[in-house]
Amino acid sequence: MSTAMPYRSHAIAVITALASALSSLGPAMAGPKPAATVIRINGSSTLLPFSQAAIRAFAARAKAQGVQFSARGTGTSAGLREFCSGSSSMTAASRPINTSEIQACDSRGVRFLELPVAYDAITLVVARENSWAQQISTTELRRLWNREAQGRILRWNQVNPSWPDKPIKLCGPGPDSGTFDTFNKVINGSEENGRRDIIASEDDTVLVRCVASNPLAMGYFGYDYYQANRNKLRALAVVGSRGSVVPSPESVQQSRYLPLSRPLFLYVNEQVLRSQPTIRSFITTTIQNGSRLSRQAGVIPLQDSTYRLVITKLYRNVLGSAFAGSLPLGLTVGQTLDRSFDALKKPDYR
């Protein structure tokens, strides 16, 4: 008995020391933690600040579930190409999905939900130093920005005789941008009817610098980028069917800033939405907080009643586009959005 005790004490001491050592090496022996799943929201640069605000608001919950979200402004058309190829689970868009994109989604078996999340006002801007341009009519916009103006309308007084005989520099979205498509559709009658002899970019920060640095420049882009740079830029009132109207949350929500108001969308892959609870939670949280996130991002919130309809559309899994692949003309923003909720008004959904 007296000889067994020292051996037992020694064995216990060895085991204790070994356990302590293993405990200290635990994380190293377990190997590196698996990389977090990254969910990307590419697409509209206009909606990029909104996407980023939504990601920040959801960051803690995403981290707890081992997921990271990222957003990039690649342009609506580029984002929808990636989305319809099946390589991304959601995309941001500043126009409705078009017919060819719907066909691309169908060919890959990509079923989707179209979810309005905010309004926008395509905003015409000049530098603060510009002292002559205060407003511009839709006729003058067409004269300046359509394809036939390319290489011909090069001076301010060619747009409006009261403006100076000085060269005009144009800064606008590139052809992958939904803003390019919408502007040319409502001003020039066709998404393709836009001049190309301009400083073009899908990155709106490039366009901000282009206009702000030159008092002879004019450009257009989403309202949120104007809001963030009001100290450098001045917005022009647009003379349309409702008279001379400055872009603002009120003029857009009241359907007075025409024809350059529009809804903004998130498109979400329906199969992914069903299979990944984190994405469903992110989308639901984003829409429920859409008004606050819109104000943070500088875009224009939908009405509270509209956000409730979007949530209903999500819960009832209403698939496809409400716009049949075309951008509606002659409708107010409210009427445009009403079309996206037609399915909710059918007897099957009551």
Taken as a whole, the chain contains a residue count of 350
Q: What's the average model confidence in pLDDT over 19-29?
A: 44
Quick: pLDDT tens for 315-340: 999 899 887 666 665 566 667 777 77
DSSP state string for 251-287: HHHTT-S-SSEEEEEEEEEHHHHHH-HHHHHHHHHHH
Q: What's the average model confidence in pLDDT over 55-78?
A: 89
Please tell me whether residues 242 and 335 are part of one structural domain: no
- At residue 255, the pLDDT reads 87
Q: What percent of the chain has pLDDT over 70?
A: 84
> Does residue 14 register a pLDDT over 60?
no
- C-alpha to C-alpha distance for 284 and 134, rounded to whole angstroms: 41
Residue 307's CB is within 10 A of a number of other CB atoms, namely 20
> Does residue 298 register a pLDDT over 60?
yes
Q: Which domain holds residue 300?
A: 37-119+262-349
* 334 exposure class (CB count in 10 Å sphere: 0-12, 13-18, 19+): middle
Residues 6+ apart with CB under 8 A from 19: none
Under 8 Å between Cβ of 113 and 126? no
**Inside any domain, residue 21:** no
Please tell me whether residues 226 and 174 are part of one structural domain: yes
- C-alpha to C-alpha distance for 80 and 75, rounded to whole angstroms: 9
DSSP state string for 178-233: HHHHHHHHHHHSSTT----SSEE-S-HHHHHHHHHT-TTEEEEE-HHHHHTTTTTE
The pTM (predicted TM-score) of the whole model is 0.83
- At residue 68, the pLDDT reads 87
Residues 6+ apart with CB under 8 A from 318: 113, 343, 344, 349
Quick: pLDDT tens for 229-272: 999 999 999 999 889 999 999 999 988 999 999 899 999 999 99
DSSP code at position 197? S
Q: Which residue has the tokens 């420049």?
A: 217
- Out of 196, 228, 253, a domain closes at 253
> Does residue 350 register a pLDDT over 70?
no
- At residue 326, the pLDDT reads 64
Q: Which one is predicted more confidently, 209 or 312?
A: 209
Residues 6+ apart with CB under 8 A from 316: 344, 349
Q: Which one is predicted more confidently, 325 or 69?
A: 69
- Out of 253, 286, 316, a domain closes at 253
Please tell me whether residues 215 and 149 are part of one structural domain: yes
Q: What's the average model confidence in pLDDT over 78-98?
A: 93
> Does residue 86 register a pLDDT over 70?
yes
> Does residue 16 register a pLDDT over 50?
no
User: Coil, strand, or helix at residue 139?
Assistant: helix
> Does residue 100 register a pLDDT over 70?
yes
Q: Which of 17-21, 135-139, 201-205 has the highest mean pLDDT?
A: 135-139
CATH of residue 275's domain is 3.40.190.10
- Out of 215, 232, 253, a domain closes at 253
Q: How many domains does the chain have?
A: 2
What φ, ψ does residue 153 adopt, rounded to 5°?
-95, 95
pLDDT confidence of 22, banded at 50, 70, 90? very low
How far from chain centre, in Å, is Cα 287? 14
Average pLDDT, the chain: 86
Q: Which one is predicted more confidently, 18 or 310?
A: 310
**For the stretch 100-134, what's the b/e string if a residue is b when 16 or more beta carbons lie within 10 angstroms of its beta carbon?**
ebbebbeeeebebbbbbbbbbbbbbbbbeebeebe
- At residue 179, the pLDDT reads 93
